[in-house]
């Protein structure tokens, strides 16, 4: 097929030898099957921010680093340069997340390189060697639904142990590979320790899984795995392979307002110290 314009620089650099076909078109990117020497990979070509439907809300951008204070100000103003900085941070978030999660043993496509806004990564295949289908396109039995749900909860736990929350997990960004589900599409991934919305995002991700698989296995509906996983994470008890019940025992201990006040005072002190440090660096 004709080489898409955004992939031309990779061909010129010898990173891609042939574009075999388009695999899918999504709200954030177009994905192509490409040949790189003797290896078949996929190339994710990110769409320009004006063409994308997914909003880069504050909750997703929170905690993402920029090179310097000038870039941070430009991104805050929403200038053309600032939008480009935000776009680079958006793409880098997926690349960084893929490398971190692959190293942690999470079932994600193995990344190769990101060049000129194109991410080269592993092509996930099914048992026949064809491109793996999305979970939403696979016919499920009750038993298979329970198995996949369990496998994906294990992956969510592994991700959180690595400090990452997907942020948009659903049946549309999970592939069913030869060995089971593989999680994809991570540009909106957030750091569990730096995002104020981390708990809500985790619960939504896990709730999406329960809602989807609950269509085929109703016993999954009403489970509280998201709350349980986050509670274990906050308590420092979350480890890979942890046994989950899907139930949370309510904390009936009386509130400690003095402890809350101390935490607020400590947070404000840390903010003042960080602001003073930034001013010293700029001087």
pLDDT mean across residues, the chain: 87
Q: How far apart are CA 50 and CA 80, in angstroms?
A: 12
Q: Using 50, 70 and 90 to split pLDDT, how confident is the model at 216? A: very high
**pLDDT value for 253:** 62
Check: CB of residue 106 under 8 Å from CB of residue 153: no
Decide if pLDDT at 279 tops 90: no
CA angle (126, 132, 136) in 5-degree steps: 125
- Bridge partners (DSSP) listed for residue 180: 177
Q: What is the DSSP string of 123-164?
A: --B-TTSSBPPBGGGS---HHHHHHHHHHHHHHHHHHHHTTE
Which residue pairs from 179-182 have beta carbons closer than 8 angstroms and sit at least 24 positions apart in sequence? 179/107, 180/107, 180/148, 180/151, 181/107, 181/135, 181/148, 181/151, 181/152, 181/155, 182/107, 182/108, 182/109, 182/124, 182/132
- What pLDDT digit, counting tens, does each position of 150-202 carry? 999 999 999 999 999 999 999 999 999 999 999 999 988 999 998 889 999 99
Q: What is the DSSP string of 111-123?
A: EEEEETTEEEEE-
- HSE-up of residue 248 (Cα within 13 Å, Cβ side): 15
The secondary element (H helix, E strand) that includes residue 234 is: helix 225-234
Q: How far apart are CA 283 and CA 256, in angstroms?
A: 41
Measure CA 215 to chain center: 24
What residues have CB less than 8 Å from 210, skipping those under 6 apart? 149, 220, 221, 222, 223, 225
Q: Domain spanning 5-234: which superfamily?
A: Transferase(Phosphotransferase) domain 1 (1.10.510.10)
Q: Using 50, 70 and 90 to split pLDDT, how confident is the model at 79? A: low
| Domain-wise residue ranges, the chain | 5-234
Decide if pLDDT at 259 tops 50: yes
Decide if pLDDT at 71 tops 50: no
Please give the residue that has the higher pLDDT: either 169 or 55. 169
Cα-Cα-Cα-Cα dihedral sign, residues 31, 35, 41, 45 = negative
Q: Using 50, 70 and 90 to split pLDDT, how confident is the model at 63? A: low
Q: Is 260 left (phi over 0), alpha (psi -120 to 50) or beta?
A: alpha
Q: How far apart are CA 182 and CA 152, in angstroms?
A: 9
Decide if pLDDT at 75 tops 50: no
The secondary element (H helix, E strand) that includes residue 186 is: none
Q: What is the 3-state secondary structure (H, E, C) of 35-101?
A: EECCEEEEEEEECCHHHCCCCCCHHHHCCCCCCCHHHHHHHHHCCHHHHHHHHHHHHHHHHHHHHHH
């Amino acid at each position: 097929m004709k080489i898409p314009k955004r992939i031309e620089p990779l061909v010129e650099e010898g990173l891609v030898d042939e574009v075999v076909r388009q695999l899918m078109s999504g709200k954030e990117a177009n994905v192509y099957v490409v040949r790189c020497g003797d290896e078949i990979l996929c190339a994710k070509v990110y769409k320009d921010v004006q063409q994308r439907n997914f909003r880069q809300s504050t909750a997703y951008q929170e905690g993402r680093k920029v090179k310097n204070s000038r870039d941070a100000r430009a991104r805050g103003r929403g200038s053309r340069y600032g939008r480009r900085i935000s776009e680079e941070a958006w793409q880098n978030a997926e690349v960084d997340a893929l490398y971190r999660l692959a190293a942690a043993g999470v079932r994600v496509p193995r990344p190769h390189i990101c060049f000129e806004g194109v991410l080269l990564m592993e092509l996930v295949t099914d048992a026949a060697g064809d491109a793996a289908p999305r979970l939403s396109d696979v016919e499920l039995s009750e038993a298979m639904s329970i198995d996949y749900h369990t496998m994906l909860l294990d992956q969510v736990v592994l991700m959180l142990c690595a400090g990452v929350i997907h942020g948009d997990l659903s049946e549309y960004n999970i592939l069913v590979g030869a060995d089971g589900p593989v999680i994809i599409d991570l540009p909106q991934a957030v750091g569990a320790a730096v995002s104020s919305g981390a708990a809500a995002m985790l619960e939504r991700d896990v709730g999406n899984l329960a809602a989807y698989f609950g269509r085929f296995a109703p016993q999954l509906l009403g489970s509280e795995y998201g709350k349980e996983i986050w509670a274990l994470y906050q308590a420092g008890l979350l480890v890979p392979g942890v046994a989950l019940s899907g139930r949370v025992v309510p904390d009936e201990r009386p509130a400690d307002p003095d402890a809350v006040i101390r935490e607020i005072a400590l947070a404000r002190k840390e903010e003042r110290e960080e602001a003073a440090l930034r001013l010293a660096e700029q001087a």
